[in-house]
Amino acid sequence: MARAKQKIQDAWSKSFLKKGVGRKPSHNFEVVQQSQVALVPTVHVSAAAIFNLEGEVLLAKRPEGKDLAGLWEFPGGKVKEGELPEAALIRELNEELGIQVESSHVEPLTFVSCEKSIEGKNLLMYLFKVDRWKGKITALEEQKFAWVKVGRLGDYADIMPQADVPMANTLMKMFK
């Protein structure tokens, strides 16, 4: 390893010193080879805290046959390549619940990041408040729904996906 490190330092020095840029690295300089660094892709997910007129929040139970089946979550889904999180949420709510939401009624609340939580990938999940929509909420993916008082979201902590729990806690603090 020491020999490879020295070769890298020498190559670096020759290249940059020929151009008149920089100076030779100190002995403390260490190069980490790319093969030693594993960059983990990130999955972006948008979720909604949908509030009804009574101030309750909608939770959806993940249907059988899907990952995390049987767990209660905030409705939403994955953000596609090149898509904004708000646009993904509007699309997902239409696909899963059959409702239409205008972007002016999508308010960012919080986010959660989890290391290697989906298929070995990192997760970055955004939570948005939605309190206006058009259409009737319908179980288009055969999921069950529950309208839950914000103060009771903690009752679902043991039956929620890992990323939804801190979001539920944040909602309980924000909307006491």
* Spatial contact of 56 and 146, defined as CB atoms under 8 Å apart: no
Strands (E), the chain: 42-50, 56-61, 72-73, 76-78, 106-118, 121-130, 144-149
Instruction: Please name the fold of domain 42-174.
Output: Nucleoside Triphosphate Pyrophosphohydrolase (3.90.79)
Tokens of 90: 């509007």
Statement: residue 24 has pLDDT above 60: no
Per residue in 97-149, pLDDT (tens digit) is 999 999 999 999 999 998 877 778 899 999 999 999 999 999 998 889 999 99
Domain ranges of the chain: 2-34, 42-174
Per DSSP, what are the bridge partners of residue 45? 78, 125
Per residue in 141-159, pLDDT (tens digit) is 888 999 999 999 999 999 9
Predicted confidence at residue 40, as pLDDT, reads 87
